[in-house]
Structure 1
Amino acid sequence: MQTPLAPIGLFYGSSTCYTEMAAEKIRDRIGAEWIDLHNVADSDIALAEQYDFLIFGIPTWDYGELQEDWENVWDELAQLDLSGKTAALYGLGDQAGYPQWFQDALGYLHAQVRACGARTVGHWPAEGYTFEASKGLTEDGTHFVGLALDEESEFEKSDARLDQWCTQIMREFGLQS
């Protein structure tokens, strides 16, 4: 296994490049010295066990489905021991086109990461979004379990959301940037 160079491992799956572009924007905002990027289509998901701090990025596809690269590594992810790790998540979805399934994959990934033992941070307010249902919400429904991005109908809000969330997770990780 390769040795991580940075304190944070960012793992993402991306079919249309938007999740990958968000990963790169997160790296650029926090600093390349802080983050190693890993596309789950090309990198072994087991590398996540080598990092104390993790960021996971996933888009929701169609009717609340996992993105194909995440689906391909899902069983391997379930076998990881992420005890003692801190993870933040971000998701991409389309609240206008798929309002009944907005950020569902974010919720699935959050449940899986928690089941592997990780502590999660980076919850994001649900206020200001327009959707019917989401499996990506906290139990009280006031927050998403990670940053919710919508590059289809609210792309103009993404940069400000990324700025705020990156500052938030670095604080919640207890790291300086």
Structure 2
Amino acid sequence: MSTAIIYSFTSNKTAKAGEKIAAAIGKSFETTMVNADELTEKEFLSYDQLILGVPTWFDGELPHYWDEFVPAIEEMDLKGKKVAIYGLADQVGYPENFADGVGILARLMRDRGAEIVGQTNIENYKFESSNAIENGDDKFIGLVLDQENQARLSQKRIEDWVEGLKNIFK
């Protein structure tokens, strides 16, 4: 199984989180780091397993590099692919749309047939609402990191998340 970690190499906090995720994976399974700013449809579809990095911009929007790739994704058949999503968000500055990018990207992938993996607990976060939570669940669809307000918790959250992925990704 081929696995890619896809994020913008120029989105500093998302890139640093992607590097920490890759380091936590270590040699458990082989991964390729892919720059979302240069992503092609062919490259995206060439991987069986995807770890996607997405910060939430402004009032709950995808960053431009993902937003511009959405039309291509909408035409894809992602059946058989496993997708884990991590995202950066600010629960103090944007509590009403905390980590919405994670939810937007997850639903887009799931609607195309991908299996979304890597849910995480919402404990120890304080926000009003989030599209990264489904149906009143008590879990985020993926890993949510708040480097603005809880940076000291990120490494442990990454390590715990990756441990779960090691049981899912081969």
TM-score by length of 1: 0.89
Contact 1:13–1:19 (8 Å) recurs in 2: yes
Residue of 101, 105, 114 corresponding to 1:105: 101
Matched residue SS, 1:165: helix
1:14: Cα distance to partner? 5.8
Equivalent pairs: percent with the same residue?
34
Contact 1:46–1:80 (8 Å) recurs in 2: no
The residue identity in structure 2 corresponding to 1:18 is K
Match of 1:21 in 2: 16
Q: Classify 1:53/1:144 alpha carbon distance in 2 versus 1 (closer, same or farther; 3 Å).
A: same
Structure 1 outlier segments of 4+, above 6 Å: none
1:45: Cα distance to partner? 4.1
Match of 1:91 in 2: 87
1:70: Cα distance to partner? 0.8
> What is the RMSD of the two structures over their aligned residues, measured on CA atoms?
1.5
Match of 2:131 in 1: 135
Match of 2:7 in 1: 12
Q: Classify 1:25/1:45 alpha carbon distance in 2 versus 1 (closer, same or farther; 3 Å).
A: farther
1:121: Cα distance to partner? 0.7
TM-score by length of 2: 0.93
Greater relative contact order, per chain length (Cα 8 Å cut-off, separation 6+): 2
The residue identity in structure 1 corresponding to 2:79 is S
Contact 1:15–1:67 (8 Å) recurs in 2: no
Q: Which runs of 5+ in 2 are unaligned?
A: none
For 1:15-164, list aligned pairs within 5 A.
16-31=11-26, 34-164=30-160
Within 2, Cα distance between the matches of 1:24 and 1:75?
Answer: 27
Q: Classify 1:47/1:16 alpha carbon distance in 2 versus 1 (closer, same or farther; 3 Å).
A: closer
Deviation larger for 84-93 or 27-36: 27-36
